[in-house]
Amino acid sequence: MSRSEELYKKAKHIFPGGVSSPVRAFGAVGGTPPFIDRGDGARIWDVDQNDYIDFVLSYGPHILGHNDPDVLSLACDVARKGLSFGAPTEIELQLGEMIVSAFPCIERLRFVNSGTEATMSAIRLARAFTGRVKILKFEGAYHGHADSLLVKAGSGGATFGVPDSEGVPDAIARETLTLPYNDAQAVRDLFDREGDSIACAIVEPVSGNMGVVVSDDEFLREVRTQTERHGALLIADEIMTGFRQTYGGVQILLGLEPDLTTLGKIIGGGLPVGAYGGTGDIMKKIAPEGPVYQAGTLSGNPVAMASGVATLRKLKTPATYSILEEKSRKLADGISGAGRAYGLPLRINRMGSMMTLFFSENPVTDWSSARKADTALFRHFFQEALKEGLYLPPSQFEAFFLSTRHDDAIVSEATEKFQRSLARTRDWIDRGRPESRP
Ligand code: KE4
């Protein structure tokens, strides 16, 4: 029995699924999740000292790779002065100022401890600012696990939501409307019908949580136009895309001007941080200035702020994003070439250094097309890739990421590993897709 298997056996006694977040349990791909011992640059090692090229990067934060010396150095310097005070600190102000200067649509912001807290707070703020209750989200998007957001579309033509998790009251779910992503006409129709009762629309400008699905221009423009026309706020959830594609939000590349933006992941450089921010007139509603309460013991804690400051400082280095783009394109091209060579139904959706390999005959442009992907084929491929030493997110419906430490040598090595994994996946298909044991 490997050390990971030993540890997982114990972990399942005390943690549901043996994990601290469901996707980590490898439920969609089978097998024992490796327990990770350490990371360095683009690689991680598990407790059995197997090494992997890491494309999960903690689900996005590690755009500089693991163990970045500058991030570690500043975080340790600040930690030595005290881990947390429950009081304002200069480093917190520094990170706040860096974010404000990177986002034209963020005049003021509030730090929290996770993306979930950021979106939950932004929705409460939008409801208070507009005096309305209903919110709009899009199928396949994930904005964290606040009750209002664990909601799926009601059946038939019903526009009200139904819970997407036990424990979410119907009364809360029915206030969440859900539409297909990338469907501009559906947005127009909904706002024509009930736009004046909608407090906000929350959208991932580039979706990463049904796998990567890039929004189309008309859709994003329509969400902005309709929210503006009907007095609803637009919340851009950039928890995954913030500082991923550019120094700031992907909203800048897409020409989107939201009222509120939520952030997380990269702005904490791997430590727990979230943030929500927007125009001054909206943010002044937040306590203690205004009547919208939101608080947090460890919000703005100095060590996480330091990790964020050091990360953003480094991301400002010129050419960072063009190098990330070039490496990501090179890897995507190598993988696509192998997919074609082996006659696999493989499509890559990519935005900068975040991408998803969909095993799908058809283009993936929304949740209904994403869910048609061959998840059994992904499952087998995932296990082949893991054996090759590629650490990918264990779900067809997740994004994977590159870091600035995924240099030419790593990309070449990874390309060969992807090619061998795809070749063995093709062989598995040719053998009649026998039951594969991870
Ligand atoms: P957290 O509460 O996990 O910090 O953030 C929630 C969240 C909000 N918005 C977007 C666009 C997100 O991608 C996330 C979190 N993403 C998932 C990965 N799909 C985190 C991984 C996990 O849940 O373990």
User: Does residue 140 have its Cβ closer than 6 Å to ligand 1?
Assistant: no
Residue 114 Cβ < 6 Å to ligand 1 = yes
Q: Tell how far the Cα of 144 is from the centroid of ligand 1, in angstroms.
A: 5
- Indicate the top mutation candidate among 116, 148, 245, 250 to test ligand 1's pocket, ranked by most ligand atoms within 8 A of CB: 116
Ligand 1 pocket, residue 251 CB under 6 Å: no
Indicate which atom in ligand 1 lies nearest the CA of residue 209: 19
Q: Catalytic amino acids?
A: 142, 237, 265
Instruction: Kindly state if the Cβ of 239 falls inside 6 Å of ligand 1.
Output: yes
- Please tell me the residue having the least CA distance from ligand 1 atom 19: 209
Q: Is 364 exposed, middle or buried (0-12, 13-18, 19+ CB in 10 A)?
A: buried
* pLDDT in the model for residue 161: 87
**Cβ 395 under 6 angstroms from ligand 1:** no
3-state DSSP assignment of residue 355? strand
Q: What is the chain's pLDDT, residue by residue, as a tens digit (438 residues)?
A: 999 999 999 999 999 999 999 999 999 999 999 999 999 999 999 999 999 999 999 999 999 999 999 999 999 999 999 999 999 999 999 999 999 999 999 999 999 999 999 999 999 999 999 999 999 999 999 999 999 999 987 776 666 788 999 999 999 999 999 999 999 999 999 999 999 999 999 999 999 999 999 999 999 999 999 999 999 999 999 999 999 999 999 999 999 999 999 999 999 999 999 999 999 999 999 999 999 999 999 999 999 999 999 999 999 998 999 999 999 999 999 999 999 999 999 999 999 999 999 999 999 999 999 999 999 999 999 999 999 999 999 999 999 999 999 999 999 999 999 999 999 999 999 999 998 667
How much distance in Å is there from the Cα of 142 to the middle of ligand 1?
7
Q: Is 69 exposed, middle or buried (0-12, 13-18, 19+ CB in 10 A)?
A: exposed
Q: Give, to the nearest 10 degrees, the angle between helix 375-388 and helix 408-430.
A: 130
The label of the residue with tokens 């929004």 reads 215
Distance CA 365, CA 50 (A): 36
pLDDT of residue 237: 98
Of all protein residues, the one whose alpha carbon is nearest to atom 24 of ligand 1 is: 21
Please indicate whether residue 232, judged by its CB atom, sits closer than 6 Å to ligand 1.
no
Is the pTM higher than 0.95? The answer reads yes
Quote the ligand 1 centre to 383 CA distance (angstroms): 23
Tell me the domains of the chain and their CATH numbers. 3-67+318-430 (3.90.1150.10), 69-315 (3.40.640.10)
How far is 176 from 150, CA to CA, in rounded Å? 9
Parallel, antiparallel, or unpaired: how do β-strands 198-203 and 233-237 relate?
A: parallel
